């Protein structure tokens, strides 16, 4: 589901149609190499699984299934702050396979610090700070359904498993002054309370009698994100971690310049798959401006609108170092769990390799703007 009239989601895919590949002939492409190096690690393909929150909506194995798919292919999983499974369990499922952690910058500094420490402890190669979702976009389909998963405690497992967050929840529950309502609860309220109790760590029967599950949801809604964040705050994050800091959601070249000025290690050009600002620039249209400003100083990654292997080649030709894939593997996950997610990514990778062969390139670094023409 995307924002508003879905214009940005359309702009994302339309942008790919305006670029055409111009294949080259009589090049020896018998052996090809799709690998790339990012943050000191060689990856088998320039593909990452984008951070996706609340995966339990797609499949009951949620993040664990995503981890199995990523591990089967050796592609990095970007673990979401809004995971349905605590990051430590997802990391265990990943084995030695690469993982990055995506941070939503909470209003509470202790929660931020704790997430960052945990991300390092689970062996993340990078910290992806998502900037474009400090408030949720106007998602009309969600609004029609009155659906906010977090209000049912879905997708808040990183928080309920976090010691700093748990301290806030306990303090909130201890200081609660409101007495229980004597109104008859609606069926929706009962379902929500049951969901909160199920999602809170520990025994369901104890949770049903405890104030903590509901206090956790309320605390989450209070501290989820910080709309007052500014460039100056990045220094605090830098002082807390040695991990590469990658900013996700950059679209304006001036923001790319500011990101470099503030010493970030990477950028993801993204509009969150069109889920935030309706009528925003298509992500692929934003890519060349950012690539131009960055001028090779840090890797520029890309997402929003990748639907096939040829799309990956176009994004790389416009200067992306790698791409994050969102919805496609989530659809696979919904249909067939880890196998489904893996199959989607395998197909994407296969089409990338085949497109490289047919365009006359043997390796990722040979993919450049000379392969592109504007559509008439
Ligand atoms: C259902 C859904 C949940 C998402 N959750 C997150 C998230 O928790 N954190 C984040 O940084 N991005 C999140 N995203 C955005 C993706 O990481 C990515 O930017 C986007 O899906 C890419 O566009 P695509 O779906 O067209 O590939 C989410 C996207 C979707 C569709």
Q: pLDDT digits over 1-42, tens only?
A: 899 999 999 999 999 999 999 999 999 999 999 999 999 999
Give the pLDDT confidence score for residue 180 in this predicted structure: 63
From the CA of 210, how far away is ligand 1's center (Å)?
33
Whether 276 is in the pocket of ligand 1, judged by its Cβ within 6 Å, is no
Amino acid 177: pLDDT? 73
- Residue-level pLDDT at 370: 98
- 48 C-alpha vs ligand 1 centroid, how far in Å? 12
114 CB under 6 A from ligand 1?
no
Mean pLDDT within 323-337: 98
Average pLDDT score over residue span 165-194? 88
Ligand 1 neighbourhood includes 270 CB (under 6 angstroms)? yes
287 lines ligand 1 (CB under 6 A): no
C-alpha 21/C-alpha 188 separation (Å) is 51
* pLDDT confidence of residue 1: 83
Which of 3, 10, 11, 53 for a ligand 1 pocket mutation test, highest count of atoms within 8 Å of Cβ? 53
Taking CA 310 as the corner, what is the angle to CA 291 and CA 293, rounded to the nearest 5 degrees?
A: 0
Which pLDDT score is estimated for 39?
98
CA–CA gap between residue 69 and residue 48 (Å, rounded): 11
Residue located nearest, by CA, to atom 28 of ligand 1: 52
What does the pLDDT average to over 252-258? 98
Q: Residue 163 pLDDT more than 90?
A: yes
Strands 372-374 and 127-130: unpaired
Q: What is the pLDDT of residues 116-127, one digit of tens each?
A: 999 999 999 999
Q: How many residues does the chain have?
A: 376
pLDDT score for 178: 65
pTM over 0.95: yes
Q: Examine the pLDDT at 192 and tell me if it is beyond 80.
A: yes
Q: Which atom of ligand 1 is nearest to the CA of 82?
A: 8
Q: Residue 179 above 70 pLDDT?
A: no
Chain-centroid distance, C-alpha 152: 21
Question: Which residue's alpha carbon is at the smallest distance from atom 8 of ligand 1?
Answer: 53
So which residues are the catalytic ones?
A: 272
Average of per-residue pLDDT across 59-68: 98
To the nearest whole number, what is the mean pLDDT of the chain?
97
């Amino acid at each position: 589901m995307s924002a508003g009239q879905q214009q940005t989601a359309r702009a994302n895919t339309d942008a790919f149609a305006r670029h055409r590949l111009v294949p080259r002939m009589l090049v020896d492409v018998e052996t090809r190499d799709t690998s790339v190096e990012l943050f000191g690690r060689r990856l088998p393909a320039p593909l990452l699984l984008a951070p996706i929150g609340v995966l339990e909506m797609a499949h009951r194995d949620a993040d664990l299934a995503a981890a199995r798919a990523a591990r089967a292919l050796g592609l990095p999983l970007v673990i979401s702050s809004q995971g349905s499974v605590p990051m430590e369990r997802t990391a265990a499922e990943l084995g030695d396979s690469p993982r990055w952690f995506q941070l939503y910058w909470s209003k509470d500094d202790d929660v931020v610090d704790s997430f960052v420490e945990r991300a390092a402890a689970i062996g993340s190669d990078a910290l992806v700070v998502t900037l474009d979702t400090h408030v949720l976009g106007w998602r009309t389909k969600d609004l029609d359904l009155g659906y906010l998963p977090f209000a049912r405690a879905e997708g808040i497992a990183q928080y309920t498993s976090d010691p700093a967050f748990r301290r806030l929840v306990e303090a909130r529950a201890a200081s609660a002054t409101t007495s229980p309502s004597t109104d008859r609860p609606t069926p929706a309220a009962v379902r929500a309370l049951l969901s909160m109790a199920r999602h809170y760590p520990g025994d369901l029967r104890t949770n049903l009698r405890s104030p903590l599950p509901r206090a956790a949801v309320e605390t989450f809604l209070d501290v989820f994100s910080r709309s007052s964040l500014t460039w100056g705050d990045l220094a605090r994050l830098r002082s807390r971690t040695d991990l590469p800091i990658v900013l996700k959601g950059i679209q304006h070249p001036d923001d790319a310049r500011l990101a470099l000025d503030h010493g970030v290690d990477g950028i993801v050009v993204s509009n969150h798959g069109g889920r935030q600002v309706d009528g925003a620039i298509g992500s692929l249209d934003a890519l060349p401006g950012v690539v131009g400003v960055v001028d090779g100083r840090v890797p520029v990654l890309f997402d929003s609108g990748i639907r096939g292997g040829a799309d990956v080649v176009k994004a790389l030709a416009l200067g992306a170092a790698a791409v994050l894939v969102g919805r496609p593997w989530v659809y696979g996950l919904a249909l067939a769990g880890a196998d489904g997610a893996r199959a989607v990514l395998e197909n994407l990778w296969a089409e990338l390799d085949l497109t490289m062969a047919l365009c006359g390139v043997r390796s990722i670094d040979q993919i450049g703007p000379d392969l592109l023409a504007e559509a008439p």
